[in-house]
Amino acid sequence: MHHFQYRNGELHAEDVPVRELASRYGTPLYVYSAATLRRHFQAFDSAFTGVGHLTCYSVKANSNVHLLRLLAEMGAGMDIVSGGEMHRALAAGVPGQRIVYSGVGKQDDEIRAALEADILLFNAESVQELERINALAGQMGRTARIGVRINPDVDPKTHPYISTGMRNNKFGLDMEQARAAYLLARDLPNVQPVGIDCHIGSQLTTLAPFLEALDRVLDFHERLRDLGLAITHLDLGGGLGITYGEETPPHPKEFGEAVSERLRGRGLSLILEPGRVIAGNAGILVGRVIYTKSTPSKNFIIADAAMNDLVRPSLYQSYHRIAEVQPAGRDEITADVVGPICESGDFLARDRILPGMQQGDLLAVFSAGAYGFSMSSNYNSRPRAAEVLVDGASARCIRKRETLADLVAPELHAEE
């Protein structure tokens, strides 16, 4: 459930008309609902009450520091994949003991900063990374808690770009490589192997791949125990899908019950890394129709929101529901919703049945709270959108719109 609903003939974000937000802050505009974020986090986190756990929000889904702070105040940890994401998490008030660091390419300065912050653990994804963490920890006189990311070779049945747990993906190590990595970690002086990590992909709409991967990881945990390794944490990653259109993903409660049943009595503390399921339907992208155009073969609705604002439709051919902010009751047409970017791949929807929108109309692109702004860019030298957080009847800007001066400032001052 989300808190973007129509009242009195127009779309509201909680108690605030979206029309008013567009007037105040301009478009394109990302609008987030605090009530939805809270509701989704609580629904997910409470699903695992039967087992000791830490819910670490996946910062890459939406990294605005104000949203991170809101989640941190509810007890969330953070799953990070870069030094920049760690900086954001710390700025949001998240203690290091609630931060888990994943990712295949951790650099020296990032590792040092994470050691300085005393994060909960690193999820190492290669033997060379494990050795590097050990060396840097030794230089700093510290001991790094680590897990090894296992690639269980499970097909998540999702888009290939967001599949991460199959043998041809860049992430993690297969079981035999991981076993060797744990034996190495056991003997390295500056790391302490305490976790197992497994993440198989994103936007999963069935539990079967999760549970298949979990069963393989639990079998592997038994092997590690036989080797004398005291593993205390199991990081099961994230990936639970949301409804963009017709999908019917499992409820977190169903997920929690299935996982908790398998973990009962094993003495493992669970780490979870939800991102999209928390933030996805907590945000919309608001745009304004600039022009409409009809050719002998197509109708086009040309909006000020483009692929640089929301790249998912172009990159993944993903579906996002699009609707009028103020429905006018016009006849429906089949149209492409496109932006001003100089690319044929710049579209938010193709061959979509929509009301015949007109110049100046506002449109809302739903389910844009995850991997929307965080993947946005300045392509075509377009300033990035503003972000607004609505909480009940109040709204505040949580990221100001970039200006043309912002675009060139790093270049003009490059040699200072």
**Digit-coded pLDDT (tens) for 220-272:** 899 998 888 999 999 988 888 888 887 788 888 988 898 898 888 888 999 99
To the question of whether residue 316 is assigned a binding role by annotation, the answer is yes
**Digit-coded pLDDT (tens) for 120-161:** 999 999 999 999 999 999 999 999 999 999 987 765 554 444
To the question of whether residue 274 is assigned a binding role by annotation, the answer is yes
Q: Is residue 207 very low, low, confident or very high in pLDDT (cuts 50, 70, 90)? A: confident
To the question of whether residue 110 is assigned a binding role by annotation, the answer is no
Integer angstrom CA distances of residue 269 from 62, 228, 305: 26, 18, 43
Kindly report the backbone phi and psi dihedral angles of residue 98, in degrees, each rounded to the nearest multiple of 5, phi listed first.
Answer: -115, 25
pLDDT at 192 (0 to 100): 97
- Mean pLDDT, to the nearest integer, of 398-415? 94
By CB neighbour count within 10 A (0-12 exposed, 13-18 middle, 19+ buried), where does 381 fall? exposed
Q: Residue 116: which residues within 8 A CB-CB, separation 6 or more?
A: 140
Q: What is the CA radius of gyration of the chain?
A: 23
- Of these residues, 56, 198, 342, 397, which one is catalytic? 342
Q: Is residue 403 very low, low, confident or very high in pLDDT (cuts 50, 70, 90)? A: very high
pLDDT at 169 (0 to 100): 56
To the question of whether residue 312 is assigned a binding role by annotation, the answer is yes
Domains of the chain, with CATH numbers? 4-32+280-412 (2.40.37.10), 34-276 (3.20.20.10)
- The SS3 call for residue 213 is helix
To the question of whether residue 273 is assigned a binding role by annotation, the answer is yes
Residue with tokens 């890459």: 60
Q: Does an H or E element contain 391, and which?
A: strand 386-391
**% helix / strand / coil in the chain, to the nearest 5?**
35, 25, 40
Active site annotation includes 56: no
To the question of whether residue 275 is assigned a binding role by annotation, the answer is yes
Closest CA to 377 of 407, 414, 345, 416: 407
Fill in the amino acid letter for 344.
S
Q: At what angle do helices 83-91 and 108-116 cross, to 10 degrees?
A: 30
Q: Does an H or E element contain 398, and which?
A: strand 394-399
pTM: 0.93
CA–CA separation, 365 vs 345, rounded Å? 17
Cis amide bond preceding 28, omega within 30: yes
Residue 204: DSSP 8-state: B
Residue 102: DSSP 8-state: -
**Digit-coded pLDDT (tens) for 359-390:** 999 999 999 999 999 999 999 999 999 999 99
The alpha carbon torsion through 407, 410, 412, 415 (nearest 10 deg) reads -170
CA–CA separation, 337 vs 313, rounded Å? 11
Fill in the amino acid letter for 321.
R
Integer angstrom CA distances of residue 26 from 23, 158, 224: 6, 35, 56
pLDDT at 181 (0 to 100): 94
CA–CA separation, 123 vs 145, rounded Å? 9
CA–CA separation, 298 vs 138, rounded Å? 63
Chain-centroid distance, C-alpha 312:
12
Q: Is residue 162 very low, low, confident or very high in pLDDT (cuts 50, 70, 90)? A: very low
- Mean pLDDT, to the nearest integer, of 103-124? 97
pLDDT at 175 (0 to 100): 82
Closest CA to 239 of 194, 208, 267: 208
To the question of whether residue 291 is assigned a binding role by annotation, the answer is no
By CB neighbour count within 10 A (0-12 exposed, 13-18 middle, 19+ buried), where does 356 fall? middle
